[in-house]
Amino acid sequence: MARPTFDIKAQPGFALVALFTFAALYLPIVTLVVYAFNGSESLTAWGGFSLRWFGDAAANTAVQDAAWRSLVLALSAATLATGAATMAAIATTRTAPYRGLGAKYAFINLPLMVPEIVTAVALLIVFSRIKVWTGYSGLGYLILAHTAFCIPFAYLPIRARLEGMDSTLERAAADLYATPWNVFRRVTLPLLRPGIIAGFMLAFVISLDDVVITEFVKSGGQDTLPTYMLGQIRRTVTPEVNAIATAFLALSILLVTAFFFINRKKT
């Protein structure tokens, strides 16, 4: 007689708990999106459907500057972080186990375990001294800070992809006298591409919506969209903030959808 299997969906109250969880997660987001199309200046009083706040946000030069700066920062940090994460993932997976490998793995993922505020304060102290010594206060500090913070986010999916790959293909290429560079370029990299894309997109999104590190490291006039929105909330809250947040949400959904189709095509 077969033993009955445990099915959590058959437990009493499962549907109610699931509905409550989804409502707690998505009802605030739905409310935000709905009120982004509010024609009234109030956040709570509905004034009819309108695209007014999207137009105001698009015509706002401060929003334009912050949006452009956010994209440049996220693209630069994600590219650098993905490159570093790819090299680190290969170095920690395509090698025989040795003493200290686990410590290196923990060191790479340290930003995930350390509170973000600690990382932000540490970067503020270091970069403030460098600014005094060099006199440079450009966007490079934000790019370096975001890159350091995003490396573990890019590292995890790339490492997972490497660990799931069949290494016999790489050994077969080496047996056929392919150089290490050709093995990487013609065998490892094509198989690793979905993991690299996933790591890049994750690092891009993490950098794009970061507030804490950006707020501590940025110089005057270097607001990104998240820090601009934070500043607006501290002053006067208007549905323009809802419109910007809705655009952020749409971009995130677009990235996830694009990755889904790219990954499905690769597999």
Tell me: the pLDDT tens digits for 10-38? 777 778 888 999 898 889 888 888 888 88
Contact 241, 145 (CB under 8 A): no
pLDDT of residue 91: 87
> Which of these, 104, 87, 101, 100, lies nearest to 158 by C-alpha position?
87
Q: What whole-number distance in Å separates Cα of residue 66 and Cα of residue 61?
A: 8
pLDDT digits (tens, 9 = 90+) for 183-195: 888 888 888 888 8
Could you give the percent of the chain with pLDDT greater than 70? 94
Helix (H, G, I), strand (E, B) or coil at 38: strand
Helix (H, G, I), strand (E, B) or coil at 54: helix
Helix (H, G, I), strand (E, B) or coil at 176: coil
pLDDT digits (tens, 9 = 90+) for 163-216: 888 778 888 888 777 888 888 888 888 888 888 988 898 899 899 888 999 999
Average pLDDT of the residues in 84-112: 84
Dihedral angle computed from the Cα positions of residues 151, 152, 158 and 163, in that order, rounded to the nearest 10 degrees: 140
Domains and CATH numbers, the chain: 26-39+48-266 (1.10.3720.10)
Q: What whole-number distance in Å separates Cα of residue 164 and Cα of residue 233?
A: 45
Position 36: which residue type? A
Asked if residue 1 has pLDDT above 60, the reply is no
Could you give the percent of the chain with pLDDT greater than 90? 21
pLDDT digits (tens, 9 = 90+) for 114-139: 888 998 999 999 998 998 898 888 88
Asked if residue 53 has pLDDT above 90, the reply is no
pLDDT of residue 167: 77
The DSSP code for 177 is T
Q: What whole-number distance in Å separates Cα of residue 250 and Cα of residue 196?
A: 22
Asked if residue 3 has pLDDT above 80, the reply is no
Asked if residue 142 has pLDDT above 90, the reply is yes
| 156 sits in which H/E element | helix 140-164
Give the CA radius of gyration of the chain: 23
Give me the helix-helix angle, 61-93 and 101-108, nearest 10°: 170
Half-sphere exposure of 48 (CA within 13 A, CB side): 2
Confidence of residue 241 (pLDDT cuts 50, 70, 90): confident
Burial state string for 120-146 with b = 16 or more CB within 10 A and e = fewer than 16: beebbeebeeeeeeeeebeeebbbbbb
Asked if residue 260 has pLDDT above 70, the reply is yes
